[in-house]
């Protein structure tokens, strides 16, 4: 009786660990592929910027299934990385994906006054010379905000 209980317990433990191992391996195998696809999708969308990219074209390019693709597009949309706009393409409804943010480029900070500032080494949030009170930095930031609000350069 005792031997049969031990053997039953051993079998259950074995099955539990087999299932656990299988699920862990599946999880590990799926995760990088999913993140990898998400990352590649985001790179592709960012590279298209204003004209956006059709969801159906993108999955073809990434070698993903449409189901996988739409799941990733929804995920990226929820995270706020992309904007999806419904579009009729070849008589079928799909989405065009636009990036909500552009990757930071060196050009975006090339004229920041801090890069050439002789006080840079003494400047700090709690110092006498501080970005909190710096007119040059404030002007530069306001200029950026103005450009963003008036991209045509009017006004
Ligand atoms: S915040 Fe002003 S003072 Fe500080 S490094 Fe930038 S430009 Fe210089």
Q: Are 76 and 121 part of one and the same domain?
A: no
What pLDDT shows up at residue 21?
Answer: 38
Is residue 80 domain-resident? yes
End-to-end CA distance of the chain: 91
Domain that holds residue 115: 106-149
- What lines the ligand 1 site, CB under 6 Å? 113-114, 117, 119-120, 123, 129, 131, 134, 136-137
Q: Are 13 and 77 part of one and the same domain?
A: yes
Q: Are 14 and 79 part of one and the same domain?
A: yes
Residue 7 structure tokens: 């053997």
Give the span between the Cα atoms of 53 and 89, in whole angstroms: 12
> How many angstroms separate the alpha carbon of residue 121 from the centre of ligand 1?
9
Average pLDDT over residues 64-91: 91
Instruction: Give the ligand 1 atom nearest the CA of 114.
Output: 6
Dihedral angle of Cα 110, 97, 86, 30, to the nearest 10 degrees: -150
pTM for the full predicted model? 0.49
3-state secondary structure at position 83: strand
Domain count, the chain: 2
Q: What is the pLDDT of residues 115-142, one digit of tens each?
A: 999 999 999 989 999 999 999 999 999 9
Give the span between the Cα atoms of 53 and 60, in whole angstroms: 12
Out of 99, 114, 140, pick the residue that ends a domain: 99
> How many angstroms separate the alpha carbon of residue 105 from the centre of ligand 1?
20
The residue whose CA is least distant from atom 2 of ligand 1 is 134
What pLDDT shows up at residue 10?
Answer: 42
Q: Are 28 and 55 part of one and the same domain?
A: yes
CATH number of the domain bearing residue 90: 1.10.10.10
Taking 80 as the threshold, does the pLDDT of residue 81 lie above it?
Answer: yes
Q: What is the pLDDT of residues 18-67, one digit of tens each?
A: 444 344 444 444 444 557 888 899 888 988 877 899 998 998 888 888 89
Q: Which residues contact 111 (CB under 8 A, 6 or more apart)?
A: 140
Q: Which residues contact 40 (CB under 8 A, 6 or more apart)?
A: 62
Q: Are 84 and 126 part of one and the same domain?
A: no
Q: Are 32 and 73 part of one and the same domain?
A: yes
3-state secondary structure at position 46: helix
How many residues are given for the chain? 155
Q: Are 39 and 63 part of one and the same domain?
A: yes
> How many angstroms separate the alpha carbon of residue 146 from the centre of ligand 1?
20
Helices 55-62, 2-48: axis angle to 10 degrees equals 120
């Amino acid at each position: 009786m005792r031997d049969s209980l031990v053997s039953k317990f051993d079998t259950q433990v074995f099955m539990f660990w087999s299932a656990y191992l299988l699920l862990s391996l599946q999880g590990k195998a799926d995760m990088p592929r999913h993140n990898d696809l998400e990352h590649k999708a985001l790179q592709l969308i960012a590279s298209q910027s204003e004209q956006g990219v059709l969801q159906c074209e993108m999955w073809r390019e990434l070698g993903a299934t449409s189901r996988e693709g739409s799941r990733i597009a929804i995920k990226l949309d929820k995270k706020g990385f992309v904007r999806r706009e419904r579009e009729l393409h070849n008589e079928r409804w799909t989405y065009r994906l636009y990036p909500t943010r552009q990757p930071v480029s060196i050009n975006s900070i090339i004229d920041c006054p801090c890069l050439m500032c002789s006080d840079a080494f003494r400047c700090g949030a709690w110092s006498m010379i501080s970005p909190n009170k710096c007119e040059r930095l404030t002007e530069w930031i306001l200029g950026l905000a103005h450009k963003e609000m008036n991209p045509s350069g009017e006004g």
